[in-house]
Every structure is written in structure tokens, then in C-alpha cells.
Amino acid sequence: MFSASIMSYVDPKPEIQAEIVKNGASLARIFAHGDSGRHDQGAVTVTTQLNATDEVWVRESSPNNGELYGSKFSTFTGFMIYSL
């Protein structure tokens, strides 16, 4: 199981999109859009079956190169639910 959250900046690029990716293929998308002087946060959780060589990561997919607000507000985590 993998979970990610992103927080957007307010200005100058308030909209951010990202996705959880497995071996280059998108599993789930995340969206955040800061507005009216406030940040916005989006999150998603996904489950997937993995093989030993599979790789999972988060990548930005904003068409307008939005800006990710860090400061521990944007996170990525994963854990194994059970082994087959």
C-alpha cells in the first residue's frame, strides 16, 4: 500500500498535480490548488501487487510546472500488507 500527499503553493504557481507511479506507469493522481491566499492539499492511497524488482515513486505531472510546498506537508509512504 502506498500513500502520498502534496501541498501547493499559493503564488505564483498555485496548481500542482502529481501521481504515484509503478515502473513508469501511473497508478493514481493527486491534485492541489492554492486559492484565496491559502495553500491546498491533495492526497491519495493505492494498493498494488509488487515483484522484488518493481519500483514505486511519486512524480510531478503538472502541465504548468506547479510548485510543491514542502516543509513536511508533502509526504510519501508505503508498506507491505502481506507477502504472497
The whole-number pLDDT of residue 24 equals: 97
Return the domain boundaries, the chain. Answer: 2-78
- Considering the domain 2-78 in this protein, what is its CATH number? 2.60.120.40
pTM of the model: 0.87
Average pLDDT over residues 54-81: 87
The whole-number pLDDT of residue 68 equals: 80
| Residue carrying the nine cell digits 506507469 | 25
As a whole number of angstroms, the distance between CA 59 and CA 80 comes to 21
User: pLDDT tens for residues 23-66?
Assistant: 999 999 999 998 888 889 999 999 999 999 999 999 998 877 77
47 contacts 12 by C-beta, under 8 angstroms: no
